[in-house]
């Protein structure tokens, strides 16, 4: 049985964290530099954006993780360190400085950045902030780290869970940031996860790569794939379980534990989409293949017209079928059923590809809740998928109209 906790990256054994204001962001009340540290170099894995324009920190981190091990994750907010001539130099120098302060190898540092693209980044904030980060590391510092990676996020995002694997309690904890420029197609925004499971770098990488297909790859807020998306995991091995091997019952248990945390973070990211008032979840069933189910679910939550209808609490189910139709799902429009579900109830709006009589008043009530499920049965097979998104509001344009300035 998996137990869920309101905790983050310091929930698993063997990790400390901290977050400080280093001066990257103008607002002195906002933390802008985060650190997550293990007691020694531990197995690590990551996945990155598929955008061909990649932030310098991703390029550096990928080099550092070639051996499958890391000691720490450092992340700044307020500046993406992307499209800068000296971006890789800054990321490497940051790693070197942190390594000296931790007594670790610079190559054991995962480095990440988030914020505005194309603005120069100085080493001065890191020189000022890293010693303080290291000196304030603690088992209670997870929330400070989660706060320090936020940009336009309106709420802190963390999750944790625990279950028995091989008779030992194994924990997974994570933090995330993400509000806009979210259409990952790899991992997501920025997500940092820790676990105390004993697992090899190769097996951990397999778990991460499998997980992301049904977690962060299934979120879309605005259809923009970021330059800096990263999902990184470190494993301390302090749970005391026998080392988890790939494709075993223990691996399946660990994958479910990891999925519990990542899916919780997915929902928090989608619900906090820029300007959003509602979390949208599309549940597809009856698809011919798993991949077609994924495409269908993501097309629905990614449709600007569907998102706008949900903002207005308008049961415009035709927009759902329209999105399905261009999603390359081998859709037989004459078979699809659509229903809207929320805490206020469920209302069927389409059966066998055609409209059915329903109460507009009831539909309005169902769609006025802050979490909406769009339930679609394609009746074309046995596969399903879930995707997450949010409504499209006036505030999205307001936020992004002057984001840089």
**Residue 375: CA count within 13 A, CB half-sphere:** 14
Q: Which top CATH class is 3-271?
A: alpha beta
pLDDT of 270 > 50? The answer is yes
Q: What is the pLDDT of residue 393?
A: 80
What does each C-alpha distance from 368 to 21, 87, 194, 278, 340 come to in angstroms?
Answer: 39, 45, 37, 9, 11
Tell which wins on pLDDT, 51 or 166.
166
Neighbour tally for 375: CB within 10 Å: 18
Its pTM stands at 0.87
Question: In the block, which residue shows the tokens 């949010």?
Answer: 390
Tell which wins on pLDDT, 82 or 131.
131
Catalytic residue, chosen from 188, 195, 262, 329, is 188
Tell which wins on pLDDT, 395 or 256.
256
CATH for the stretch 279-401: 3.10.20.340
pLDDT of 53 > 80? The answer is no
Q: What is the pLDDT of residue 185?
A: 38
Produce one character per residue of 75-102: b if its CB has 16 or more CB atoms within 10 Å, e if not: bbbbbbbbebeebbebbbbbbebbbebb
**For 304-325, what is each residue's pLDDT tens digit?**
899 999 999 999 999 999 999 8
pLDDT of 231 > 70? The answer is yes
**For 119-164, what is each residue's pLDDT tens digit?**
888 899 999 999 999 999 999 999 999 999 998 788 899 999 999 9
pLDDT of 92 > 70? The answer is yes
Domain boundaries, the chain: 3-271, 279-401
State mean pLDDT over 342-358: 96
pLDDT of 329 > 70? The answer is no
Distance of CA 136 to the CA centre of its chain: 26
Q: Is position 114 annotated as part of the catalytic site?
A: no
Q: What is the pLDDT of residue 171?
A: 98
pLDDT of 403 > 70? The answer is no
pLDDT of 189 > 80? The answer is no
């Amino acid at each position: 049985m998996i137990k869920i906790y309101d905790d983050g990256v310091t929930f698993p054994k063997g990790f400390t964290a901290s977050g400080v204001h280093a001066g990257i962001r103008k607002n002195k009340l906002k933390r802008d530099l985060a650190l997550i540290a293990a007691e020694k170099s531990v197995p690590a894995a990551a996945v990155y954006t598929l955008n061909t324009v990649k932030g310098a920190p991703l390029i550096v981190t990928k080099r550092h993780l070639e051996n499958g091990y890391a000691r720490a994750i450092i992340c700044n907010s307020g500046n993406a360190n992307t499209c800068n001539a000296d971006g890789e130099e800054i990321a490497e120098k940051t790693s070197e400085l942190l390594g000296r302060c931790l007594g670790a190898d610079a190559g054991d540092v995962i480095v990440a950045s988030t914020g505005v693209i194309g603005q120069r980044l100085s080493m001065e904030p890191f020189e000022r902030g890293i010693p303080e980060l290291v000196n304030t590391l603690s088992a209670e510092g997870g929330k400070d780290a989660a706060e320090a990676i936020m940009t336009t996020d309106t709420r802190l995002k963390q999750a944790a869970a625990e279950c028995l694997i091989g008779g030992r309690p194994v924990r997974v904890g994570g933090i995330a940031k993400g509000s806009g420029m979210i259409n990952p197609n790899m991992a997501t925004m920025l997500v940092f996860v820790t676990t105390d499971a004993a697992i090899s770098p190769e097996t951990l990488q397999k778990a991460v790569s499998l997980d992301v297909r049904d977690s962060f790859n299934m979120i879309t807020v605005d259809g923009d794939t970021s330059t800096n998306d990263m999902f990184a995991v470190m494993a301390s091995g302090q749970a005391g379980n026998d080392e988890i091997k790939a494709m075993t019952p223990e691996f399946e248990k660990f994958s479910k534990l990891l999925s519990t945390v990542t899916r919780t973070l997915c929902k928090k990211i989608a619900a906090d989409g820029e300007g959003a008032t509602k979390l949208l979840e599309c549940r597809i069933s009856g698809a011919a293949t798993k991949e077609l189910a994924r495409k269908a679910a993501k097309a629905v939550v990614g449709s600007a017209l569907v998102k706008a209808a949900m903002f207005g609490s308008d049961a415009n189910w035709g927009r759902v079928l329209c999105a399905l139709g261009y999603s390359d799902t081998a859709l037989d429009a004459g078979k699809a059923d659509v229903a809207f579900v929320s805490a206020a109830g469920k209302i069927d709006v389409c059966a066998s590809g055609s409209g059915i009589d329903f109460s507009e008043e009831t539909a309005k009530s169902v769609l006025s809740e802050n979490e909406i499920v769009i339930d679609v049965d394609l009746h074309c097979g046995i596969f399903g998928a879930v995707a997450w998104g949010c409504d499209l509001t006036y505030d999205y344009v307001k936020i992004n109209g002057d984001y840089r300035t």
